Structure 1
Amino acid sequence: MATESAGALPLRRVNRTRTIHGSLAIEGNTLSEQQITAILEGKPVIAPPREIQEVRNALLAYEHFPSWNPASEEDLLVAHALLMRGLVGHPGAYRHRGVGVMSGDQVVHMAPPADRVAILMGELLAWLSRAEVHPLIASCVFHYEFEFIHPFEDGNGRLGRLWQTVILSRWNRLFADLPVESIIHAHQQDYYRALADSNDEGASTLFVEFMLGVIREAVMSASTEQGTEQATEQVLNLLARMGEGDYSAKTLMALMGLSHRPTFLYDYLHPALDGGWLELTRPETPKSPKQRYRLTASGRQLLLELGLRDGG
């Protein structure tokens, strides 16, 4: 449990910040990842009050989403209430008027009439509860249909993206911490184009194909950061206990409270060296009895990014 709190949780926080930044940036929020992190840590941030409220709401919603049932209308409405509190007149309630999706001054999609919203959402959630297609496909189809219905006065985009994560995370826990929304933000115009093209075709196929590509990119990105995920286990504990000096293997084992040398070598020291976070003081003689180990610039940067070391 100690390694979870020292490593996985900071990495989870970084990915959650990326997710929230990506989703809100799509909606025009200008706060940076650093400002979102400051809000998460309770630090003052100078920014438009509405944008700060959007971040606080999103942080709270993403904190609660592990408990939500993707096919529950009640949970969906609660999620909207959390995301949009203080931002719309009726958070957590379906819209009572017609809405259109605008691109500049042009209407690109007229959503179904307000008196059809509850019926359509009921049908969509019922479909999700019994869908026999793969969860990857089901989550993309739900996302598209949700945006087509546009069931709320505002917040449809951010809730649709959040709910796809909820669906995916019930299938595989990995998706709870995978910043898919930051990838969507990087392809924002393609995201809107895929929605519009699917609307034109009257089918979700093009949007599903686009979102599967986004998910694949997010998974591949996480795969290339496998070293960082390794650091979230034993390696990060080791790095976090080191200062700026040089350490012998015996000293590092003592810092970690370890007595079994093979465990230290294969679970801590070697992965840290392989990841480039530690370096040898005598690289020309790796097995020298005078060999010492020290943090690299990459090791220090990793600790800074995960909030385990001050930048001063």
Structure 2
Amino acid sequence: MSGYQPPYTITTEILNQVAQISEAVGRLTTLTDRARTLRLRRINRIRTIRGSLAIEGNTLSEDQITAIFDGKRVIAPPREVQEVKNALTAYDRFHAWKPGSETDLLQAHEMLMAGLINEAGAYRSGGVGVMAGEQVIHMAPPAERVPKLMADLLTWLNATNVHPLITSSVFHYEFEFIHPFADGNGRMGRLWQSLILAEWHPLFADIPVESSVFEHQAEYYRAIEESTERSDSERFISFMLRMILETLTTSTPQVSPHVTPQVAELLVALKGEMGRATLQSGLALSDRKSFRERYLKPALADDLIEMTIPNKPNSRLQKYRLTEKGQAWLRENAGNSPKD
């Protein structure tokens, strides 16, 4: 068994970041469990893929990636379309992989890079460097050392009892330092950190941390470079924890979606539990079909309201109430805390 220990320092700042993230995860768990509809998971998956690929130079927008997700034809560079298709395939397999499995790691790379490079799913056979734009910021170890370095890293990952927030960041940095593949190392490192985090808490399977990293791309490369210069990944760990916390506090719950004026009116009018007729009357609407299509259904679809008898949607006793997401929207957008 390898006794390899990646070099990193756990600072007070890092411990504080871990505590803040853990608190944020606790606060968001209930809300996210209720808001985790297929639609929300799809939005975050698209943001994740767009962010990770954009760091590597892919120019496709979220709308274009959504179109590819829906099986539509997109006019764009073929390689960039292939990158998106590969990423969608890979992320569909996300929950089947184990972070400490070399077999799963190689399979994930094969999916991400299929049709893009000849060595998809295999460690590189030549030299590579970490690039920040046109600048080489790190020359990776020789190819013949890669299998042993990766074996040591995965052995450490499987054995360590350090908090997963720190472990995942250390792994991410070490992975980028080794740069085990001919191409696709950045997207693989980010994917594998998310996988490690999701094993700790399932919330991270749907959090688009990559989107925050993309917004701070220069800092991302600088953190890699500084950690390499110091032979200590503390800078990179702190950067990634900051990105995770930023994503948790700004992106995850998505409790402030854009809503139509009609849905906004409904949210303001809904007090406690109200039936369809009472709600419609309170909004001074005479057309039942218009109320259902323009007010009720969109609010239900966006998880802003819920039925009191969800297993009997047509019950004459059916009433509606605000969800936690709807209450949060109301607090943030109407300055009105709903009363029961």
Instruction: Answer yes or no: is 1:275 the counterpart of 2:304.
Output: no
Q: For 1:176-210, what per-residue CA distance to the aligned partner results, in whole angstroms no more than 9, with x for missing partners?
A: 00000000000000000000000000011000000
Counterparts of 1:220 and 1:258, CA distance in 2? 38
Change (3 A) 1:265 1:126: same
Aligned twin of 2:313:
256
DSSP-derived class of the 1:203 partner? coil
Counterparts of 1:143 and 1:271, CA distance in 2? 33
Q: For 1:213-240, what per-residue CA distance to the aligned partner results, in whole angstroms no more than 9, with x for missing partners?
A: 0000011114663466xx9xxx9xx9xx
**Structure 1 segment 28-107 matched on structure 2, within 5 A:** 28-107=57-136
Change (3 A) 1:245 1:113: closer
Counterparts of 2:42 and 2:57, CA distance in 1? 22
DSSP-derived class of the 1:243 partner? helix
DSSP-derived class of the 2:181 partner? coil
Counterparts of 2:76 and 2:296, CA distance in 1? 43
DSSP-derived class of the 1:242 partner? helix
Counterparts of 1:274 and 1:205, CA distance in 2? 36
Change (3 A) 1:258 1:169: farther
DSSP-derived class of the 1:89 partner? coil
Counterparts of 1:274 and 1:192, CA distance in 2? 36
Instruction: Answer yes or no: is 1:242 the counterpart of 2:292.
Output: yes
Q: For 1:105-127, what per-residue CA distance to the aligned partner results, in whole angstroms no more than 9, with x for missing partners?
A: 54321101110000000000000
Change (3 A) 1:75 1:216: same
Counterparts of 2:77 and 2:192, CA distance in 1? 27
Residue 266 of structure 1 deviates from its aligned partner by: 3.9
Checking the alignment, whether the CA contact within 8 Å between 1:253 and 1:259 is kept in structure 2 is: no
DSSP-derived class of the 2:93 partner? helix
Counterparts of 2:89 and 2:38, CA distance in 1? 16
Change (3 A) 1:245 1:209: closer
Unaligned runs of 5+ residues in structure 1 are 280-285, 287-312
Counterparts of 1:271 and 1:75, CA distance in 2? 36
Unaligned runs of 5+ residues in structure 2 are 1-32, 258-262, 268-275, 277-290, 298-306, 334-338
Checking the alignment, whether the CA contact within 8 Å between 1:180 and 1:214 is kept in structure 2 is: yes
Counterparts of 2:244 and 2:230, CA distance in 1? 23
Aligned twin of 2:30:
none
Counterparts of 2:163 and 2:36, CA distance in 1? 32
Change (3 A) 1:260 1:55: same
Aligned twin of 2:180:
151
Aligned partner letter, 2:239: F
Aligned twin of 1:214:
243
Checking the alignment, whether the CA contact within 8 Å between 1:120 and 1:149 is kept in structure 2 is: yes
Aligned twin of 2:222:
193
Counterparts of 1:116 and 1:246, CA distance in 2? 61
Change (3 A) 1:11 1:202: same
Give TM-score, length-normalised by structure 1: 0.76
Aligned partner letter, 1:84: M
Q: Give the total of aligned pairs.
A: 262
Checking the alignment, whether the CA contact within 8 Å between 2:255 and 2:328 is kept in structure 1 is: no
Give TM-score, length-normalised by structure 2: 0.70
Root-mean-square deviation (CA), in Å?
3.2
Change (3 A) 1:253 1:266: closer
Counterparts of 2:51 and 2:194, CA distance in 1? 13
DSSP-derived class of the 1:109 partner? strand
Instruction: Answer yes or no: is 1:12 the counterpart of 2:69.
Output: no
Aligned twin of 1:165:
194
Change (3 A) 1:148 1:267: same
Change (3 A) 1:6 1:175: closer
Aligned twin of 1:138:
167
